[in-house]
């Protein structure tokens, strides 16, 4: 099981923001902004580039979840960034697709 599967199963504690049968959102333990939430599909997909056509529904749910979580945390009006890392050079550290929602301060460009 991946770290995120264990969090979704309740085996590892997390500050959960929201959850549906398809995804879970929780605060990152090493936040890079005042608001840093991970949105993770319950059913693991290794990474965005490994998604298959049959994953289209959950991929859409993850993008819709971003807005829902941003509204719940009150950062939908001020703005936020969504990041998906893929592979070692992309900064991926857990082989389970996840979206980073970053907010709560002005975010510079380009990132890192």
Token output for 6: 């264990």
Distances (CA, A) of 98 to 27, 38, 54, 78, 106: 12, 6, 17, 23, 22
Beta strands in the chain (DSSP E): 16-19, 23-27, 35-41, 80-83, 99-103
**Per this entry, what is the length of the chain?**
112
Q: Which residues are catalytic?
A: 98
């Amino acid at each position: 099981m991946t770290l995120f599967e264990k969090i979704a199963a309740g085996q590892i504690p997390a500050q959960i923001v929201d959850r549906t049968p398809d995804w879970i959102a929780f605060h990152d333990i090493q936040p890079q902004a005042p608001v840093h939430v991970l949105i993770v599909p319950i059913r693991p997909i290794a990474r965005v580039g490994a998604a298959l056509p049959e994953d289209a529904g959950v991929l859409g749910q993850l993008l819709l979840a971003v807005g829902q979580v941003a509204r719940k945390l009150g950062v939908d009006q001020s703005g936020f960034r969504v990041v998906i890392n893929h592979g070692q050079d992309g900064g991926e550290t857990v082989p389970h697709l996840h979206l980073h929602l970053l907010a709560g301060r002005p975010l510079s460009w380009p990132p890192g």
